[in-house]
Amino acid sequence: MSKAMQKFALVLAAVMVLSMASFAAGELGVTGTAAFTLKYDGFTGDVLGSTYLKFSGVLKNAPVEVIYGNDAHNRFWKNIDFWNSYITGVDQKPYVWEPYMVKLKITGAYYKKGPRVTTHVGDFSYPLPMYVTGNFHKYQGMGVMISDYPIVDKVTVTPFFAWPKYGASHTLGGMPKYFWNMGALVNANNLVPDLTIKAYAMSHQQKEGTHIRYGADLGSKQAFSGVNASRGADQLILYTAGVTTGTNPWGKEALIGPDGKVLKNAANVDAVVPAGHYVISGHGAMATWVTENLTVGSTVDVVFGNPKTTRAEATYGVEAGYKLFGVNLASKFLLRTTYDATDLLDVKKDNQIVFTANADYTFVFDNNIKAKVSGGFRTIDQDFAPHARQTDARYNAIEAQRGQLGGNAGLNLTLPAKTSVDITGDYYNKKPTETSTTDRGTATVAVTNSYFFDVTAKASVTGTRTVTETPDEINVVNSVTTSGSLARNFRLPNRDQISATYSLSTSNVLAKPITWTNKLVASSDLTVPVLNKLYVEGTVQLVTAGGETTPTYIGLLKHTLPNNVNLEAKFTKAGIQKLSWYAQATYSVSF
């Protein structure tokens, strides 16, 4: 049986097992979706495949959901092939089904005549702002959350307790530990008219597993893969007194005396561990670690996995919004306290603070002319980067502006003839290092009009002045960039519609040479005989720099067949590079 058939058989077996379980229980009805994607990469010649399984049901009136594979909802799961761990070699663990999600929602009252709340068991996204908990994988936890439990009138609390989905590889100390998050969100709406308040707290707790301290002043740590267990590939195992190790000679072991001294270092030190002693056994990469770090005569300390639970960090925050005499007010305050992750004590290490405030007011004049005036202030500590931070600061304004003390102002004008004008300015001061400061001011003027010939025209000019000062020099950089675009929808005789956008942008016009980027994108859902709807998208981009123009051509085709087969093909040709293309088919079935 081929590997593809083995995978398909395993999927069918999983469906049959769940169906039989539902029949036997009489209380669990299972529905689901299975999607299989096969992709041929014409550029590399690789054939790729991925599978997505979703089972939904009801257990005693509580919705249950189990997901394996490509859940694109939170980005981190997208395009991950969970079949990669399917057994194909002696060094792979068979049937490690991940990534996965398990969700159970129970709605009801906890006590007679009590409030109806929803309890989430399994995987869920933390109810706190993403700039506190992160976005991708660290925004997801596995545990328990109770949504919107009423405290008093108009005030609810959402507490949660969860283990990070991939906690072992993302702990503060860089080694596997027992690690979890706990916190709560409090919502208060309209306690005072037009006043909304959100208060939240999140604490990262940790408890180190069994590990060994070694090196100078025992300052380094290394976790064990297991205790008194069979030694596998690239594992480090601790054997205690009286245990028969049963290890083969294809590794490296160290015998530790009662005083922590390393007495032996060899392939096999003792078949039975002597009283008051330990044997530390490594294979592969960990055998190398034993050789390099557990030399005869050195001192180590074995620490078992039940030390005091300690805090790694805690974040507290308040967000408030209020409307006063027509002025919209909003502010955020965050306090993050970090603790020393190198010890087992709650030793406070540092505090970081974030404070932002924004306000806007809209003036309405005759002829439907409106003027919206806005302004803001921010101060964000340089070190404010929560452990569960987002993996890309571009999606997180708080993290992208770390270390800044600054403000912004804006004016938005809504004018006749479908015209709007935006004028914005921003200034901040920042200390990138202890010996340098940066002052940056940015101003943008943008105009948008969609009155003439159904064409949406946009144009903007942005100027930036950056001054970086060090004890040795002052560096000033001025920059002016421009951009513009024209967009219009065209109706075809068969009532199909084509959307086309042309844009032109420049790099810094004060620097030579200037880079010009011309880009034309056209897309449509075309009605084609036999095929019916065919999505077509074409892109032409011309980048001119230093007198040379590099063209890039991109084509995309998508079509869905009546039998739930999705077809997609894409090609990219950039300059003189080789044509890059792929074609893929996705089949989905519901049961």
Note the residue count of the chain.
591
Residue 85, pLDDT score: 40
Q: Place 14 in a pLDDT band, splitting at 50, 70 and 90.
A: low
Task: Identify the DSSP state of 384.
Answer: -
Does 498 have pLDDT greater than 70? yes
Instruction: Please tell me the distance from the alpha carbon of residue 174 to that of residue 220, in angstroms, as a whole number.
Output: 11
Give, in order, the Cα–Cα distances in Å from 177 to each of 127, 167, 301. Answer: 24, 8, 17
Nearest of 249, 247, 236 to residue 280 by alpha carbon:
236
Nearest of 395, 373, 221 to residue 302 by alpha carbon:
221
The larger pLDDT score, comparing residue 431 to residue 346, is at 431
- Take residue 435 and report the two structure tokens written for it: 């010996």
Instruction: Please tell me the distance from the alpha carbon of residue 516 to that of residue 507, in angstroms, as a whole number.
Output: 7
- Average pLDDT score, the chain: 82
Q: What order of strands is seen across the sheet that includes strand 236-239?
A: 226-227, 236-239, 278-282, 252-256, 262-266
Give, in order, the Cα–Cα distances in Å from 113 to each of 110, 116, 118. Answer: 9, 9, 15
- Take residue 101 and report the two structure tokens written for it: 């999600």
Nearest of 369, 443, 447 to residue 409 by alpha carbon:
443
Each residue of 104-160: pLDDT tens digit? Answer: 888 888 888 888 889 998 888 888 887 777 544 456 778 899 999 998 889 999 999
Residue 497, pLDDT score: 94
Average pLDDT over residues 509-519: 92
Residue 346, pLDDT score: 55
Q: Place 91 in a pLDDT band, splitting at 50, 70 and 90.
A: very low
Nearest of 589, 584, 590, 522 to residue 559 by alpha carbon:
584
Each residue of 220-275: pLDDT tens digit? Answer: 878 787 788 889 888 899 998 888 888 888 899 999 999 999 999 988 888 889 98
Residue 440, pLDDT score: 97
Does 76 have pLDDT greater than 90? no
Residue 431 near residue 424 (C-beta atoms within 8 A): no
User: 317-320: long-range contacts at Cβ-Cβ below 8 A with a sequence spacing of 24 or more?
Assistant: 317/128, 317/129, 317/132, 317/198, 317/199, 317/200, 317/201, 318/197, 318/198, 318/199, 318/200, 319/129, 319/197, 319/198, 319/199, 320/195, 320/196, 320/197, 320/198
Reduced to 3 states, what is the DSSP secondary structure of residue 394? helix
| Phi and psi, residue 89, nearest 5° | -155, 170
- Take residue 111 and report the two structure tokens written for it: 């006590």
Reduced to 3 states, what is the DSSP secondary structure of residue 137? helix
Of 12-26, 265-279, 320-334, 336-350, highest mean pLDDT:
320-334
| Phi and psi, residue 237, nearest 5° | -115, 140
Residue 535, pLDDT score: 95
Q: Place 100 in a pLDDT band, splitting at 50, 70 and 90.
A: low
Least confident interval from 13-27, 142-156, 346-360, 480-494: 13-27
Residue 93, pLDDT score: 44
- Take residue 563 and report the two structure tokens written for it: 């039998």
Average pLDDT over residues 45-54: 81
- Residue 468's contacts (CB-CB under 8 Å, 6 or more residues apart) are 432, 436, 437, 438, 474, 475, 477
369: amino acid identity, one letter: I
Residue 173, pLDDT score: 41
30: amino acid identity, one letter: V
Nearest of 362, 358, 357 to residue 326 by alpha carbon:
362
Reduced to 3 states, what is the DSSP secondary structure of residue 469? strand
Q: What element of type H or E holds 335?
A: strand 327-339
- Take residue 62 and report the two structure tokens written for it: 């509580």
**Residues of the chain by 3-state class (helix, strand, coil), percent to 5:** 10, 60, 30
Instruction: Please tell me the distance from the alpha carbon of residue 263 to that of residue 261, in angstroms, as a whole number.
Output: 6
The larger pLDDT score, comparing residue 497 to residue 349, is at 497
Does 388 have pLDDT greater than 50? yes
Q: ∠546-551-552 over CA atoms, to 5°?
A: 135
Reduced to 3 states, what is the DSSP secondary structure of residue 342? coil
Each residue of 546-565: pLDDT tens digit? Answer: 889 999 999 999 999 888 89
- Take residue 399 and report the two structure tokens written for it: 């993290």
Average pLDDT over residues 185-205: 90
Q: Provide Rg for the chain, Cα atoms.
A: 30
The residue behind tokens 């490594």 is 282
Nearest of 139, 150, 151 to residue 183 by alpha carbon:
139
Q: Place 77 in a pLDDT band, splitting at 50, 70 and 90.
A: very low
Q: Where are the domains of the chain?
A: 3-166, 211-303
Least confident interval from 60-69, 261-270, 447-456: 60-69
Instruction: Please tell me the distance from the alpha carbon of residue 283 to that of residue 166, in angstroms, as a whole number.
Output: 24
Reduced to 3 states, what is the DSSP secondary structure of residue 82? helix
Q: What order of strands is seen across the sheet that includes strand 301-303?
A: 220-223, 211-214, 301-303
Does 487 have pLDDT greater than 60? yes
